[in-house]
Amino acid sequence: MKSPPDSRPFPSLTSRPARRWSAVLLGVLLFSGSAADVSAPNPTPLTVAVFDFEAREDLGRDFGKEVSTLLSTFLSGNPAIWTVERAELDRLLAEQSLGLGGLADPATAVKVGQITGAKVLVTGRAFRAGNELLLVAKVIGTETSRVYGEVAKAGKDAPVTGPAEELAAKIAATVTTKADTLVAKVVTRADRVTTLKAALKTDRRPSVSVKIPEVHFGTPAVDPAAQTELALLFKEVGCALADDQSAQAAEVEITGEAFSEVGLRRAGLVSCRARVEIKVRDRATGKVLLADRQMSVAVDVSEQIAAKRALQEAAAELAERIIPQVVK
């Protein structure tokens, strides 16, 4: 089974200033289609996180930070790009103990994208070579791990504003023209079910029960969204569903927990973040077949619907991984 994305327990959102969620909301606003209806093409703008550039000591201690600040400023003026506020970026990464030294590792880029909501990361270096000042940037897709490089240069003693503006324009062009390779293709429900069915190597379908109690802001949900979504996908691939009222107990029992909390409210919209944890057990033997977890973020005009969407999408991503393992 493909290793699931790293999904550490998220910290209490209500205990932090609401503005820390601006980075997450920006990413969600761009890719927040309902888990039940995600057939729309990837919209723009894209959320971009710009990290401090590495800089040679001879350029000054804060030179790399100045470059990233200028890049963020220039990029934020582009209507096709939304930039993550650096203060929020630092806070989110610090909470997860993630440094930037490992960004060359695609897995780290994926983690950073999950935490910040950014679809694209920008890192780079600043240095002098001969009589020139060079700014070298890497543009990294957090969902596809695709990397593009851009360079801007100026005279050794020229103000950094000029090459930073030039580099920002090149980065913006790369982000907008290469979006199809930087951002993962949106998966429709029909595609998801078709892929799942193709992955099943046997005609036999075990009966399945799903019990995933759900909590939002400390309040139990009457109709757990993650449980409903997971059960629905099992049914759509041909598995019989069973519950406490069924005449015959299920062959496979799926239990777990689901949590959701509100993030930022802005311009009539609200974002929510969700985490779903499950265990899959063979009822006859009591053996735990697998355990998994997934996080997701969603936005809507309603807090309740945003939370449901986040839980729904997390459950759907779990289903893609666990159904082929259960049906074999």
Q: Do 122 and 51 contact (CB within 8 A), yes or no?
A: yes
Domain positions in the chain: 42-182, 189-326
Give the burial class of 269: count Cβ atoms within 10 A of its Cβ; 0-12 exposed, 13-18 middle, 19 or more buried: middle
Predicted local distance difference test score (pLDDT) of residue 188: 76
- In this predicted model, what pLDDT tens digit does every residue of 36-89 receive, in sequence order? 333 333 444 678 889 889 888 888 888 999 999 999 999 988 888 878 777 767
Predicted local distance difference test score (pLDDT) of residue 107: 66
**What does pTM read for this prediction?**
0.59
CATH 3.40.50.300 fits 189-326, yes or no: no
C-alpha closest to that of 26 among 107, 92, 102: 92
- In this predicted model, what pLDDT tens digit does every residue of 198-218 receive, in sequence order? 889 888 899 999 999 999 986
Residues shown for the chain: 328
Q: Provide the pairing of β-strand 132-141 with 120-129.
A: antiparallel
The backbone torsions φ and ψ at residue 103, rounded to the nearest 5 degrees and listed phi first, read -65, -15
Between the CA of residue 122 and those of 57, 97, 217, what are the distances in Å?
21, 19, 34
Mean pLDDT of the chain: 80
Residues of the chain with pLDDT under 50: 1-44, 101-102
How far is it, in rounded angstroms, from Cα 263 to Cα 274?
A: 10
How far is it, in rounded angstroms, from Cα 231 to Cα 319?
A: 9
Q: Transcribe 249-270 into DSSP letters.
A: --SEEEEEEEEEEEEEEETTEE
CATH superfamily of 42-182: ABC-type transport auxiliary lipoprotein component (3.40.50.10610)
Asked if the domains at 42-182 and 189-326 fall in one CATH topology, the answer is yes
